Amino acid sequence: MTKYIRHAAFFCALLLAALLVNAARVQVFGSRSYDGNPANRRAAIARYGQPRGDILVDGLPVTGSRDSHEQLRHERTYANGPLYAPVTGFSSQEYGTTFLEHAEDGILSGSDPLLSPFPLYNDVTRARNPAGDVVTTLNRAAQEAAYQGLGARKGAVAAIEPATGRVLALVSTPSYDPAQLSGNGTTAISAWARLNHDPEQPMLNRAVRQTYPPGSTFKVVTAAAALDAGVIRDLDERTDSPDPFTLPGTRTRLTNEGDGCRDASLRTAFEWSCNTVFAKLGADVGAENMVSTAQAFGFNDTSLRIPFSVSPSTFDTTVDRAQLALSSIGQYNTRATPLQMAMVAAAVANGGQLREPYLVERTVRKGGETIATPGSRPPRQAMHPATAMTMKELMTDVVREGTGANAAIRGATVGGKTGTAQHGVGNTGVPYAWFVSWAQADTDLEPKVAVAVVVEDASADRGEISGGGDAAPIAKAVMRAVLGL
Amino acid sequence: MTKAGTAVAAAKPLTPAVPPPQRRGVELALIVLAVLLSVYGYCAVGLARTGTVPPGAAGYGAGLGVLAVLAHLAVRLRAPYADPLPLPIGVLLNGLGLVLIYRLDLETPDDPAAPAQLVWSTLGVGLFIVVVLLLRDHRVLQRYAYVSVVGALGLLTLPILFPAVNGARIWIRIAGFSIQPGEFAKVLLAVFFAAYLAANGKALAYAGRRVWFVQLPTGRVLGPVLAIWLISVGVLVLERDLGTSLLFFGLFVVLLYVATGRTGWIAVGLLLAVLGAVAVSWLEPHVHGRVEDWLHPLATIEAGRGPNQLAQSLFAFAAGGFLGTGLGLGHSVLIGFATKSDFILATAGEELGLAGLSAIFLLYGLLVARGYRAGLDLRDPFGRLLAVGLASLVALQVFVIAGGVTGLIPLTGMAMPFLAQGGSSVVTNWAITALLIRLSDSASRGQPDARVIP
């Protein structure tokens, strides 16, 4: 019997070995796939187990965290949700994250390894780091001025500092309060459904994720291309421009809203926004030069991150001469985000040098210790410095005595360009009102702000829609806020 | 040379036999260690959750300590030559189980289970003391073989009269208390099997025809085996309890093999077990579902119905990794239902890690090994079979439930010995420990085979 007892004992030892091997399989070798399973709530519990880091504007948090005492403990709160929604985005337990909440999630949620005091610290302690904060480049006064300026109208504002690329304001209206989506209960679910079915699309970030036909504001690019390419050498020399202008190779005749555009000089044509002159100018510059200048300003760039992605603005690269003529006055397939048009104004203001825009000044630990400063990226020459000087002169004229007079600020030099972009089938949609500008206070050494404003449905009851009438006052308010005038 | 050798040989029977070592001091030291470890775990839960030592820590430690010391005194008094390991292992596992249940109570404040478990543990240790004090010789039990089997069958069939709970008819509810009679039946069946096989082992060993490599048993003795198999399948079908059925049948096959040494029995046993399991898993949807879950634990997630209990259990084990999250810091409560009973091991796995889980498995392994040791040291066939049977019961039960919750075999609802919430189980396991203490004491004394049963 002794032999058989030993056999049975050996059998029990086999069972024990099987248990140990299987436990090692589940707990050590297979743990990664189980931990990563989307149905496993542990990652979410850990993620919301501590307060989320804050997003700071002018040194003050515009976000917060609320202890809900539920399984996913901490929920996001927003101090002034609709105002900053295009920057912060939302952080929802149900629907994930967007914009800065998404791009800087590692810092804000505490999962970024940069937050740990020294490498591999967290792998040993298995603890989560306290979340870090994200300091933005936003200017609170500019942001508020833009938001109040748009008011109940649908539109967007982007403002940047030309010398650095710091984004000073990023506003989109109508907006929404991202706090509605923070939780994971029925309120968040119904808010999500409501916001997504709202025909006004409040969650659409029009400043960076919506492209519009830039219309006449694109003439800044066309003029710069013509000057760079040497097609125009003297601002006041008469151009050989018929009015109406027949698009090359077609019978389509292009006209102007006002008179005095026939053979107008570049200065006059820019000041009074002559479509015929600029269409012909674009065709004369040629597709190659137009495309290279547009791309130098940032068009067709699919890789721009500020740090969240920006929809690429487009300038069609395969066009015939008629299409090129239309493209050159901001029509046909030319489309731009408000941020892109702010970049155009900024490049002019900064002597032809374009700085890529960025929103995050630096990321810091809870104690205020800096983790990283993404900061300014190397500049790129969008046009000759001489061309930029000339463009500044042209844009200044527009505000001083042309269509952009509403943007003039006492005590500052302001350059701008209006635009009224027709759209819709047969141009039946309410036109978009554009204004792009930059401003330099008399006491400053360089322009401090470049702005682009687009108003989509500029109050139809007010009749005429124009960049100068609807958009320029908003740009003015933003520029004044930045300059402190 | 020759003379001296003769003198030595002649003198040998005259020298008084060296008394076997008692090792009670070792036992006491290990008990103190077990109690301290449990109290440490209790404090660790509180420190992790609230940053303070739980208010009941001193009382908890004192309670567990007093129980353990009383059990130790009973052993010292009536089983001084017993193995020093089973009692400390029981105390440590029971104490750890209380810690885990207390820890899970924090997640379900409306449904505390630790106080009741402490009461059942007290009853269990009480039964341990009673058995050690009153059962002076294990061979007494041999006389009650048939009483045992009748009692066991009665206990097994009792729950059929009660409504099914969570798909299995294994509980009876009296005055708010849930009792699993099958737990008590295990010990009675082990006693019966040991007694029956000790008496009939030689007859059963007669070999029948030899087919290929396997020596088949004769048809005459196949009857009892078939009867037990039918009872197991009956339990399975009527109570929908795969685990208990597997446990009984496994116990019987092991004891049959140890008693007869016939591999043919194992072949027949395995064949019948596989036939029964396959047939029932086809016919019985409850069991069939368990097999499906085992084969595809994440299928419900892919089907969009969220993780099932087994998937949640695997998530918990995986979250533990090698060192665990620490007591009180895991999320095994996500398993939802039965976290404190069937799935208690998932909490241990998540919060103590593979290291802690392996330690627990090894504690069970040690307990089983000490049972087998007693079986080897004993001389009387009944005692040997009883020791092997009880040890195998623990081994099989640990394997069936631990293998189930870690996805090694299909999941069956069964209580992890000592750890899991469940009064019947704790009391039964203390009874098993008491019997092992008694058997090891007899083994150390080296009682002669021929001694008449008192």
Interface of A with B in 20-59 (CB under 8 A): 20, 22-24, 26-28, 30-31, 33-35, 37-42, 45
Residue B452 has pLDDT above 50, yes or no: no
Catalytic-role residue among A216, A265, A328, A437: A216
Taking the CA atoms of B299, B300, B301 and B304 in sequence, report the sign of the dihedral they define.
positive
CB B95 within 8 A of CB B327: no
Q: Average pLDDT, stretch B120-136?
A: 95
Select from A15, A14, A82, A72 the least CA-distant residue to A43.
Answer: A72
pLDDT for res B454: 44
Residues 6+ apart with CB under 8 A from A10: none
Nearest-CB residue to B365 (from A6, A16, A30): A16
CA distance B66 to chain A (A): 32
Note whether B54 and B45 are within 8 A (CB). Answer: yes
Confidence of residue B62 (pLDDT cuts 50, 70, 90): very high
| Lowest-confidence pick of A83-87, A266-270, A349-353, B151-155 | B151-155
DSSP state of B378: -
- B403 vs B424: CA distance, rounded Å: 21
Angstrom CA distances, A9 to A4, B90, B404, stand at: 8, 20, 21
Which of B254, B265, B332, B416 to mutate: most A Cβ within 10 Å? B254
**Omega prior to B417 cis, within 30 of 0:** no
pLDDT band of residue B225 (cuts 50, 70, 90) is: low
Residue A162 pLDDT level (bands cut at 50, 70, 90): very high
Best of A2, A11, A15, A72 to substitute, by most chain B Cβ atoms within 10 angstroms, is A15
Nearest CA in chain A to B299: A39
Confidence grade of residue B166 (pLDDT, cut at 50, 70, 90): low
Compute how many other C-beta atoms are within 10 angstroms of the C-beta atom of residue B443.
24
- Mean pLDDT computed over A229-257: 86
A427 close contact with B: CB closer than 8 A: no
What pLDDT, on the 0 to 100 scale, is given for residue A147?
96
Q: Where are the alpha helices (DSSP H) in A178-320?
A: 186-197, 219-229, 266-271, 275-285, 287-297
Confirm whether B177 is domain-assigned. yes
* pLDDT higher than threshold 60 for residue B442: yes
- How many structural domains does chain A have? 1
List, for residues A103-138, the tens digit of each pLDDT value: 999 999 998 888 887 777 777 777 788 899 999 999
* Residue B21 maps to a domain: no
With a cut of 60, say whether residue A395 has pLDDT above it. Answer: yes
Residue A469: per-residue pLDDT: 80
User: CB-hemisphere CA count at 13 Å for A467?
Assistant: 26
The residue type of B90 is G
Q: Which residue of B has its CA nearest to A5?
A: B258
Q: Are B388 and A20 a contacting pair at CB < 8 A?
A: no
Alpha-carbon span A417 to B16, nearest angstrom: 118
Top-confidence residue, B233 or B154 = B154
d(CA B193, CA B146): 10
Q: Check if A8 contacts B (Cβ < 8 Å).
A: yes
Residue B80: phi and psi, rounded to 5, are -65, -20
pLDDT category at B450 given cuts 50, 70, 90 is very low
Q: Which residues of B touch A125 (CB under 8 A)?
A: none
B-chain CB neighbours of A12 within 8 Å are: 365, 368-369, 372, 391-392, 395
Which of A2, A3, A5 should we substitute to test contact with B (largest number of B Cβ atoms within 10 Å)? Answer: A5
Domain hosting A439: range is 215-360+376-483
d(CA B375, CA A314): 86
Residue A6 lies in a domain: no
Check if the beta carbon of residue B385 is closer than 8 Å to that of residue B259. Answer: yes
Bridge pairing between strands A449-455 and A432-441: antiparallel
Per-residue pLDDT tens digits for B265-297: 778 777 877 887 788 778 777 778 888 889 899
Could you report the predicted ipTM of this complex, rounded to two decimals? 0.90
A2–B contact, CB cutoff 8 A: yes
In whole angstroms, give the CA distance from residue B298 to residue A208: 41
Q: List the one residue out of B416, B415, B405, B419 whose CA is nearest residue B315.
A: B405
Q: Does residue A129 lie in a domain region?
A: no
B83 pLDDT tier (thresholds 50, 70, 90): very high
pLDDT tens digit sequence for A291-336 = 999 999 999 999 999 899 999 999 999 988 889 999 999 888 899 9
More confident residue, B249 or B48: B48
Range with the poorest average pLDDT among A281-285, A383-387, B91-95, B272-276: B272-276
Amino acid in position A6: R
In-domain check, residue A231:
yes
Q: Which of A37-41, B268-272, B389-393, B410-414 has the lowest mean pLDDT?
A: B268-272
Sort out which chain B residues have CB atoms less than 8 A from A8's CB and list them. 254, 257-258, 372, 388, 392
Contact A24 B354 (CB under 8 A): yes
The H-or-E segment that residue A455 falls in is strand A449-455
* Residues of chain A contacting B388 with CB distance shorter than 8 Å: 5, 8
Contacts of B358 in chain A (CB under 8 A): 20, 23
- Domain coverage including residue B145: 139-445
Cβ B243 vs Cβ B400: under 8 Å: yes
| A–B CB contacts, 8 A cutoff, strictly below | 130
Task: Flag whether B103 is in a domain.
Answer: no
Q: How far apart are the C-alpha atoms of A263 and B213, rounded to whole Å?
A: 111
- Tell me: cis bond preceding A374? Omega within 30 of 0 counts: no
Tokens coding A103: 């791009």
Is the pLDDT reported for residue A87 higher than 90?
A: yes
Residue B212 banded pLDDT, cuts 50, 70, 90:
low
- Mean pLDDT to the nearest integer, A278-284: 92
SS3 category, A33: helix
Are the beta carbons of B347 and B324 closer than 8 angstroms? Answer: no
Q: How far is CA A68 from CA A183, A356, A404, B38, B110, in A?
A: 9, 40, 51, 33, 20
Cis bond upstream, residue A174 (ω within 30): yes
Residue A430 falls inside a structural domain: yes
Chain mean pLDDT for chain B = 85
- Whichever domain contains A381, its CATH number is 3.40.710.10
- In the block, tokens 């509180």 appear at B46
pLDDT confidence tier of residue B236, bands split at 50, 70 and 90:
low
Burial A433-467 (b: 16+ CB within 10 A, else e): bbbbbbbbbeeeeebbbbbbbbbbbbeeeeeebbb
B439 within domain boundaries: yes
**Do the beta carbons of residue A103 and residue A305 sit within 8 Å?**
yes
- Predicted confidence (pLDDT) per residue in B171-209, tens digit: 777 766 678 888 888 899 899 989 988 888 777 766 666
Q: Cβ of A66: how many Cβ atoms within 10 Å?
A: 15
Chain B residue with CA closest to A26: the answer is B318
Q: DSSP characters for B285-351?
A: HHHHHHHHHHH-TTHHHHTTS---HHHHHHHHHHHHTTT-S-TT---GGGG-TTTTTTTHHHHHHHH
pLDDT of residue A243: 82
Q: Give the total number of structural domains in chain B.
A: 1
Measured distance CA(A147)–CA(B96) in Å, rounded: 61
Taking 50 as the threshold, does the pLDDT of residue A172 lie above it? yes
pLDDT number for residue B6: 45
What percent of chain B is predicted at pLDDT more than 90?
47
Orientation of helix A472-483 relative to helix A140-150, angle to 10°: 160
**CB-CB under 8 Å, A19 with B408:** yes
Q: Does a structural domain hold residue A457?
A: yes
B317: nearest CB among A12, A16, A27: A27
Residue A366 has pLDDT above 90, yes or no: no
Q: What integer pLDDT is reported at residue A1 of this predicted model? A: 81
A311 annotated active-site: no
The residue ranking higher by pLDDT, A18 or B159, is A18
Q: With CA atoms as reference, report the closest residue to A93 among A111, A69, A76.
A: A76
Q: Which range (A322-326, B38-42, B284-288, B330-334) has the least confidence?
A: B284-288
For residues A433 and A475, is the Cβ–Cβ distance under 8 A?
no
Please report whether residue B314 resides in a domain.
yes
> In the prediction, which pLDDT does A253 show?
86
What is the Cα–Cα distance from A16 to A10, expressed in whole angstroms?
10
pLDDT at A349 over 90: yes
What is the arithmetic mean of pLDDT over A253-262?
82
Instruction: Indicate the SS3 state at residue B135.
Output: coil
Distances (CA, A) of A473 to A154, A407, A431: 15, 6, 17
* Average confidence score pLDDT of chain A: 90
Residue type, B5: G
Mutate to test the interface with B, among A7, A19, A37 (most CBs of B within 10 A): A19
What pLDDT shows up at residue A114?
Answer: 86
Bridge-partner residues for A134, per DSSP?
Answer: A55, A363
Q: Cβ–Cβ contacts within 10 Å for residue B23, how many?
A: 16
pLDDT(A354) > 50: yes
A307, A269 Cβ separation under 8 angstroms: no
- Whether residue A415 contacts residue A401, with contact meaning beta carbons closer than 8 Å, is answered with no
Q: Give the pLDDT of residue B446.
A: 74
Residue A462: pLDDT band by 50, 70, 90 thresholds? very low
Res B20: pLDDT: 79
Q: Chain A contacts of B325, Cβ < 8 Å?
A: 126
Structural domain includes residue B365: yes
Is A6 an 8 Å CB contact of chain B? yes
- Residue B30 inside a domain? The answer is no
Residue B190 counted as domain residue: yes
